[in-house]
């Protein structure tokens, strides 16, 4: 009833406190750093504190987290800091905790732990509201590591070496990766980099120094590393010197990046390195379905791990994957209603992901991802649009200029898109534009928009029907907001939240005549015409743009 909350990022202190808590049966909750350092109102952090009712709150950097602590931590909770903060002179120093001598009470508390003792709460972003606290038990964590070791037996042959940046408030980094190191007696080097400009360089530095035996990342991480691998032979030779498996999760990896990583690996070490993935969630500890080297390819998710039962349930014209097993959560902390909604009548956890057989003639090859059921919608014609598949194809076609995309068209005649641009990539198309130009000026620059218009035309020509043809797009000037729930702290776009918050932009995509900032496909026989394809009345007054509206 009085768990520990950890606000700061991956660190030795974070790991020690979390392991100590689990040793004596005290649940702990590692929280996304973004809720403390990137939020303007601390709304999600306050919600979590009210739900968890912590007895102790830890932050490694006192000054950095002072505002968040002051805004959210209940007065009865003990504050523990790795470094002092002026606002909290009476806070307990982490060094004092580390120096404390254990008593017989520690052994007694440890003896009371059972497989169903709560190990931690991991918070996931709700589709429209506040984060949900997923209960993670010792049974879930331990059984899942046994499943992973059975699927990847080389982990038990020699202690694995990991170089990992993935945050511990997420199940991928905090359960899967740290669990592999602990369960198999391995080493985990905390990578202080991230797959973003200004931070990926630290990851590169770390990978020059430490050669992993198994490497985990998100697709964007592999995309960020490819240019460095391509030009730095010493980096490549160190990285591929002993890595046996590479693994991605969190999103789909494009076949283009997949192939390039495979080619770089083969050129460097003379053998093919397995690239694996799977399907799982915070609710499944996380691994439930895993690919094998023989069946792994872009879009594949694999076969159920030992001990996991999988069933396919018809939902509309799709088959939803549902699982049960010892690695499945008992539910959400203090939220019985959401817990009931997450399971079906037979006790299977509902992923919300649609699956199809990778090979209809050979079921042993496992499954492939077939889209998020909740995201899919029908056009006015009754045609279903599979958003996940279309989104992947769109991003591949518009790389590197589109960072992310939200697909529109529910009950409309056509599919359109709201695009979050990669501003720096778009800037590279703006020849002659001043280096200090604003985002708005970059997104209005005609040569850049012309290139996107051409790509839109090419994408339309390759479409196989109305459900895969994107008619128009808008470049969004304002990035997705974490406070408005448009993006999770791990970088995943919340489609529903974006469509709701940017309803005016959605309407602009379907207005007639079209506003000037809407980009349409530029065809080969239309080169002499203006980039924007519409007619506007000369008397029509230009609409005032809403806050954050694209130009």
pLDDT tens digit sequence for 391-428: 989 999 999 999 999 999 999 999 999 999 999 999 99
Secondary structure letter of residue 546 according to DSSP: P
Work out the average pLDDT over 447-453: 95
Distances (CA, A) of 345 to 325, 348, 350: 15, 7, 11
Please state, for a pLDDT cut of 70, what percent of the chain lies above it: 94
pLDDT digits (tens, 9 = 90+) for 498-516: 999 999 999 999 999 999 9
Position 304 pLDDT exceeds 80: yes
Q: Which helix or strand (DSSP H or E) is residue 288 part of?
A: strand 287-290
Work out the average pLDDT over 453-480: 95
Q: How confident is residue 489, by pLDDT bands cut at 50, 70 and 90?
A: low
Position 542 pLDDT exceeds 70: no
Phi, psi of 54 (to 5 degrees): -70, 150
Q: Tokens in use for 283?
A: 């609710």
Phi, psi of 338 (to 5 degrees): -65, -35
Q: Which helix or strand (DSSP H or E) is residue 248 part of?
A: strand 245-248
Position 64 scores a pLDDT of 98
Secondary structure letter of residue 540 according to DSSP: P
Alpha helix (H) ranges present in 53-177?
Answer: 66-72, 94-99, 104-111, 138-151, 154-157, 171
Position 251 scores a pLDDT of 79
Cβ–Cβ under 8 Å, residues 397 and 387: no
Instruction: Give the N- to C-terminal CA distance of the chain in Å, as an integer.
Output: 50
Distances (CA, A) of 452 to 334, 442, 444: 47, 13, 12
Rounded (5°) CA angle 182-234-187: 10
Cβ–Cβ under 8 Å, residues 131 and 123: yes
Work out the average pLDDT over 142-149: 98
Distances (CA, A) of 320 to 335, 352, 354, 355, 370: 24, 6, 4, 6, 9
The rounded distance, in Å, linking the Cα atoms of 187 and 159 is: 7
Cβ-Cβ contacts under 8 Å for 191 (sequence gap 6 or more): 163, 164, 165, 202, 203, 206
The rounded distance, in Å, linking the Cα atoms of 393 and 378 is: 19
The rounded distance, in Å, linking the Cα atoms of 156 and 149 is: 7
pLDDT digits (tens, 9 = 90+) for 52-70: 999 999 999 999 999 999 9
- C-alpha atoms less than 13 angstroms from C-alpha of 159 in its C-beta half-sphere: 8
Position 541 pLDDT exceeds 90: no
Q: Tokens in use for 51?
A: 């739900």
Please state, for a pLDDT cut of 90, what percent of the chain lies above it: 80
Closest of 320, 318, 322, 319 to residue 304, by C-alpha: 322
Q: How confident is residue 256, by pLDDT bands cut at 50, 70 and 90?
A: confident
The rounded distance, in Å, linking the Cα atoms of 149 and 275 is: 17
Work out the average pLDDT over 19-24: 98
Cβ-Cβ contacts under 8 Å for 232 (sequence gap 6 or more): 204
pLDDT digits (tens, 9 = 90+) for 432-443: 898 889 999 999
Secondary structure letter of residue 65 according to DSSP: T
| Cβ-based neighbour number of residue 490 at 10 Å | 18
Closest of 434, 412, 532, 536 to residue 475, by C-alpha: 532
Position 129 pLDDT exceeds 80: no
Q: How confident is residue 548, by pLDDT bands cut at 50, 70 and 90?
A: very low
pTM comes to: 0.83
Position 128 pLDDT exceeds 80: no
Position 210 scores a pLDDT of 98
Domains annotated on the chain, with CATH: 1-113 (3.40.50.980), 377-526 (no CATH)
Lowest mean pLDDT among 266-275, 363-372, 538-547: 538-547
State the virtual CA torsion across 157, 158, 163, 168 in degrees, nearest 10: 60
């Amino acid at each position: 009833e009085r768990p520990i909350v950890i606000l700061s990022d991956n660190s030795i202190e974070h790991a020690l406190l979390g392991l100590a808590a689990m040793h004596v049966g005290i649940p702990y909750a590692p929280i996304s750093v973004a809720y403390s350092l990137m939020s303007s109102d601390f709304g999600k952090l306050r919600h979590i504190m009210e739900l968890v009712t912590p007895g102790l709150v830890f932050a490694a950097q006192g000054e950095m987290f002072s505002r968040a602590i002051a805004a959210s931590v209940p007065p009865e909770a003990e504050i523990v800091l790795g470094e002092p903060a002026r606002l909290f002179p009476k806070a307990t120093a982490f060094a004092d905790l580390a120096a404390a001598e254990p008593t017989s009470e520690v052994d007694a508390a440890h003896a009371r732990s059972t497989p169903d003792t709560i190990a931690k709460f991991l918070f996931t972003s709700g589709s429209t509201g506040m984060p949900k606290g997923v209960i993670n038990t010792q049974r879930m964590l331990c059984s899942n590591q046994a499943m992973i070791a059975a699927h990847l037996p080389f982990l038990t042959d020699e202690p694995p070496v990991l170089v990992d940046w993935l945050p511990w408030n997420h199940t991928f980094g905090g359960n899967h990766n740290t669990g592999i190191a602990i369960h198999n007696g391995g080493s985990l080097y905390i990578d202080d980099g991230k797959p973003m400009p200004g931070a990926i360089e630290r990851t590169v530095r770390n990978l020059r120094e430490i050669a992993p035996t198994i490497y985990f990342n998100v697709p964007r991480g592999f995309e960020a590393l490819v240019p460095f691998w391509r030009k730095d032979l010493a980096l490549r030779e160190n990285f591929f010197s002993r890595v046996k498996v590479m693994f991605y999760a969190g999103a789909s990896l494009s076949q283009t990046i997949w192939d390039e990583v495979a080619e770089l690996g083969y050129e460097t070490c003379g053998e093919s390195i397995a690239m694996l993935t799977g399907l799982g969630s915070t609710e499944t500890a996380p691994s439930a379905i895993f690919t094998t080297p023989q069946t792994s390819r872009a879009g594949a998710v694999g076969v159920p791990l030992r001990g996991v039962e999988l069933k396919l349930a018809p939902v509309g014209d799709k088959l939803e994957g549902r699982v049960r097993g010892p690695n499945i959560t008992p539910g959400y902390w203090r939220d019985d209603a959401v817990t009931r909604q997450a399971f079906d009548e037979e006790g299977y956890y509902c992923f919300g992901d649609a699956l199809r057989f990778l090979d209809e003639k050979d079921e042993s090859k496992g499954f492939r991802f077939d889209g998020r059921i909740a995201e899919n919608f029908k056009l006015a014609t009754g045609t279903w649009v599979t958003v996940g598949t279309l989104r992947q194809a769109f991003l591949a076609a518009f790389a590197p200029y589109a960072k992310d995309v939200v697909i529109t068209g529910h009950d409309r005649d056509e599919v359109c898109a709201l695009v979050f641009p990669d501003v720096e990539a778009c800037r590279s198309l703006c020849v002659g534009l001043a280096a200090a130009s604003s985002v708005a000026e970059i997104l209005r620059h005609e040569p850049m928009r012309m290139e996107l218009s051409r790509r839109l035309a090419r994408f339309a020509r390759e479409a196989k029907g109305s459900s895969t043809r994107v008619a128009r797009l808008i470049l969004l000037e304002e990035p997705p907001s974490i406070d408005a729930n448009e993006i999770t702290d791990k970088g995943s776009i919340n489609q529903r939240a974006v469509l709701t918050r940017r309803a005016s932009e959605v309407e602009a995509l379907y207005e007639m005549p079209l506003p000037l900032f809407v980009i349409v496909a530029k065809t080969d026989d239309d080169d002499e015409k203006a980039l924007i394809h519409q007619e506007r009345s000369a008397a029509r007054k230009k609409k005032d743009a809403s806050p954050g509206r694209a130009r």
